[in-house]
Amino acid sequence: MLSLTFYGGANEIGGNKILLEDKDAKIYLDFGQSFNFGKDYFYDWLQPRSVNGLEVMFEFNLMPKIEKLYSSNSLAYTDLKYQQPNIDAVFISHSHSDHVNHIQYLDENIPIYMGHGTKVILDAYAQLYPQFCKLGEHKYSLFKSGDKIKIKHLIIEPIHVEHSIPGAYGFIITTSKGKIIYTGDFRLHGPKESYSREFIEKAKQAKPYAMLCEGTRMSAESRENFSEEGVERKIDGIISGSKGIVFAYFSMSNVDRFFSFYRAAKKSGRTLVIDTKFAFILDSLREKITELPDPKRDKLLKVYFRLAKSGTFNEKDYYKYEREYMENMITYKELEKNPKKYIMHLNFFKLMELIYIQPKNADFIYSSSEHFLEGEENEDQTKVMMNWMGHFNIKFHQAHCSGHVDRKGLIEAIDAIKPEILVPIHTHNAKEFEKLHKRVILPEKGGKIEI
């Protein structure tokens, strides 16, 4: 009997934790953290103590209470007794936290499979943000597109897809019931669109019995579907019309967006300024994405060093990894003196640098998910950011395209692949899928469906 149990990713965006059981084989497809994880119980400094593992998570039913899954350390303060795991593997589609963040609680003996690029990104973030990016000690096995991985009688084939982060995959899984498609997160409107189209073609050729399909943007009405090319054009226009320094925010791991700003800087005759953490991420990714520029030497890049400790920008003021970029250093003094020469990456937690830069006639381009700007849970942070914009008279702009396929693209993918059964995941609009396919199974969180 083939079954799927949805411990996350059903009737919600993110938090994918999907258990596939077929005969004696058990694998998880992703093991992530929901976007709204713990918002009803935690706030600001009111947070569970990490040393206590899953104690608080079980108390509030935030994590599934499953035997033979979690590590002994995670269970130390719970009433769930540790037992040797009976899970054969966990397959991670990509490195976004809503797909990977909760592997930190899993038993160390459970093999974790992920793409080479995903491991590079996670390792880099774990080094920079150890308090937030916790992976735990696991047996990692790395794959690339087209590999065929055998887990007992199951065969899992990862195929690259385009998403808003490098190293994203969908899976074609051969089971006793036939082929199962797991799309992961994907889109059809970016520079690596061909990746997703290759995945769709291979999924079509597989003639799948069932398809687990993301539906982040499966709403009856959705925003305009900007492409990355369209975003770059908008960025170019804002920068060309700016009379001062241009600030920008976008995810450090969104390589496509980085290149959009990098090319915009080149066209406008400006230099792109990134901080030491961003430089470290770029350096890490250059191992797999060789076309990325070298932050130590590239003439279109400068690495921003904050004022610290001695106030003299002495190398002893900075972490060892930061010192690697000191030869390409820039400080607030140069940005204040020649603002029109620069585009500076600036996130919420670096707004304090505006005190030193004292921008005039500046522009700010917010180029990340609207959810983080408009979500109710982010109202306080958004208000603070807008107060900073107002104080310094910085003109605020938005220029973004989603990392997820829109409704039209979803229809195209489903019509091409033609699964016998369609299972909507990673969506708030699962019932919309019933308009697109004759046999849709709507999963419930914590529920099991037999296929």
Does 433 lie in the same domain as 387? no
CATH of the domain at 306: 3.40.50.10710
Residue 190's pLDDT is: 92
Rounded Cα distance, 302 and 334, in Å: 11
183: domain CATH number is: 3.60.15.10
- Classify residue 41 as exposed, middle or buried by CB count within 10 Å of its CB (0-12, 13-18, 19+): middle
Q: Is residue 347 located within the same domain as residue 421?
A: no
> SS in 3 state form for 245-278?
CEEEECCCCCHHHHHHHHHHHHHHCCEEEEEHHH
| Residue 113 to residue 100: CA distance in whole angstroms | 11
- Nearby residues of 39 by Cβ (< 8 Å), 6 or more positions away: 377
Shared domain for 23 and 73, answered yes or no, is yes
Q: Helix 116-128 crosses helix 276-285 at what angle (to 10 degrees)? A: 160
Who contacts 286 (Cβ-Cβ below 8 Å, separation ≥6)? 292, 294
Same domain for 382 and 428? no
Check: CB of residue 329 under 8 Å from CB of residue 313: yes
The count of domains in the chain is: 2
How far apart are alpha carbons 146 and 160 in whole angstroms? 8
Residue-level pLDDT at 147: 97
Tell me: do 300 and 433 sit in the same domain: no
Do 151 and 179 touch, CB atoms closer than 8 A? Answer: no
- Residue 129: the pLDDT is 87
Residue 74: the pLDDT is 95
Q: How far apart are CA 52 and CA 54, in angstroms?
A: 6
CA distance 412 to 270: 40
Say what the pTM is: 0.94
Report the amino acid identity of residue 305: F
User: How far apart are the two ends of the chain, measured CA to CA in Å?
Assistant: 7
Assess whether 72 and 132 both reside in one domain.
yes
Question: Rounded to the nearest 10 degrees, what angle do helices 255-268 and 228-241 cross at?
Answer: 40
Are 250 and 366 within one domain? yes
Residue 225 is predicted with a pLDDT of 67
3-state secondary structure of 422: strand
The answer on 268 and 150 residing in a single domain is: no
What is the model's pLDDT at position 374?
A: 56
Query: Which residue is listed with tokens 């108390």?
Result: 59
pLDDT reported for residue 6: 98
Same domain? 107 vs 248: no
Sign, Cα dihedral of 442, 445, 447, 451: positive
pLDDT per residue, tens digit, the chain (451 aa), is 899 999 999 999 999 999 999 999 999 999 999 988 888 998 888 888 888 899 999 999 999 999 999 999 999 999 999 999 999 999 999 999 999 999 999 999 999 999 999 999 999 999 998 877 677 788 899 999 999 999 999 999 999 999 999 999 999 999 999 999 999 999 999 999 999 999 999 999 999 999 999 999 998 555 566 889 999 999 999 999 999 999 999 999 999 999 999 999 999 999 999 999 999 999 999 989 999 999 999 999 999 999 998 989 999 999 999 999 999 999 999 999 999 999 999 999 999 999 999 999 999 999 987 666 655 567 888 899 999 999 999 999 999 999 999 999 999 999 999 999 999 999 999 999 999 999 999 999 999 999 8
Q: CA–CA distance from 242 to each of 48, 260, 266, 353 (Å)?
A: 45, 17, 15, 20
64 & 179 share domain? yes
Q: Which residues contact 195 (CB under 8 A, 6 or more apart)?
A: 145, 160, 161, 162
- The verdict on 183 and 249 lying in the same domain is no
> Which residue range(s) make up the domain with 364?
228-398
pLDDT at 373: 61
pLDDT of 44: 80
339 and 429 both lie in a single domain: no
